[in-house]
Amino acid sequence: MKTVDINSAEFQQEFIKTEKFAHKVVEQFRWSFNPDEEVVERVLKGLTNNKLIHGKRYCPCFVVQNDGNDRICPCKPAIEKEIPNEGVCHCGIFCTPEYAKNYKKTHPQKKAKEVEGLSVGELEKILEKEQILGKELEILLKARESSIVDFTLIDIREPFEHQMMRIKGTDELLPISRVQFDLDKWMEYKDKRIIIYCHVGSRSGYLQRALQQQLGFCKVGNLTYGIADYFGEIERG
């Protein structure tokens, strides 16, 4: 599979085209951009990456299958269901003006509950869940720092996404686009407790099912709403 260097002139030129494209979409549908600039930048870079690799601006929050059902931005579900009903598209880049206006009120800087008060058994129950919330991962990472629980946190996004921002405590970067090439590495974790994450949980959810159903993994958790719903410590660069 073709790989793209986000620092290359090719990527930067295509990124400018993607930005112009996104502004036209906003104007056409009378939408707004998500007030969270980091979300917008991540999605724009994902769209650019897919354009260079696959030839179309496929939604970067889903695995490109090339089966005729892949979402192309602006995707039909966003136009017909997500934005009219929820105010924001699945990837989070486009939203209604009302959603943008109320964003700061509806998205306060959430903080996870402290680890104190949770027993080892309660922490292990959280770790055994297949779907893990952002605040739960914060608790688990704190518990891991104290050697109370043990697991491996794996970022399955693309390298450019990982470089932009990642959850502090991430142990591995194993892009979903390279699973077939990194299969030996993945198999090292087959019988170990792992938690995987992506941008909003779609790609990691897809990979979780594949690992379970095709490779027999039984200890893999998915960060349900991805790094977009994680309000703990973040690393950049």
Which residue, of 78, 106, 134, is where some domain finishes? 106
pLDDT, mean of residues 191-213: 97
Predicted local confidence at residue 113, as pLDDT: 42
pLDDT, mean of residues 12-18: 97
Residue 2: inside a domain, yes or no?
Answer: no
Joined together, the tokens standing for residue 234 give: 């973040």
Query: Domain limits at 210?
Result: 120-235
pLDDT, mean of residues 181-186: 96
Whether 223 contacts 132, CB under 8 Å? yes
CA distance 201 to 23: 26
Instruction: Identify the CATH number of the domain in which residue 55 sits.
Output: 3.90.460.10
**Count of residues making up the chain:** 237
pLDDT, mean of residues 45-64: 95
Joined together, the tokens standing for residue 143 give: 């518990």
CA distance 139 to 133: 10
* Residue 112, pLDDT above cutoff 60: no
Predicted local confidence at residue 27, as pLDDT: 97
Are residues 92 and 126 part of one domain? no
pLDDT, mean of residues 159-181: 96
Rounded to 10 degrees, the C-alpha dihedral 34/38/41/46 comes to -100
Which residues, including other chains, have CB under 8 Å from residue 1's CB and lie 6 or more apart?
Answer: 53, 177, 178
* Residue 1, pLDDT above cutoff 90: no
pLDDT, mean of residues 74-78: 97
DSSP code per residue over 138-205? HHHHHHHHTTSS--EEEE-S-HHHHHH-EETT--EE--GGGTTTSHHHHHTTTTS-EEEE-SSSHHHH
Are residues 231 and 136 part of one domain? yes
The pLDDT-based confidence of 103 (bands split at 50, 70, 90) is confident
The domain total for the chain is 2
Are residues 226 and 148 part of one domain? yes
9: β partners: none
Are residues 32 and 99 part of one domain? yes
Are residues 154 and 68 part of one domain? no
pLDDT, mean of residues 196-222: 97
- The overall average pLDDT reported for the chain is 93
Residue 112: inside a domain, yes or no?
Answer: no
pLDDT, mean of residues 80-92: 96
Are residues 134 and 48 part of one domain? no
Are residues 162 and 69 part of one domain? no
Are residues 71 and 150 part of one domain? no
CA distance 199 to 62: 10
CA distance 73 to 58: 6
Instruction: Identify the CATH number of the domain in which residue 184 sits.
Output: 3.40.250.10
Percent of the chain whose pLDDT exceeds 70: 94
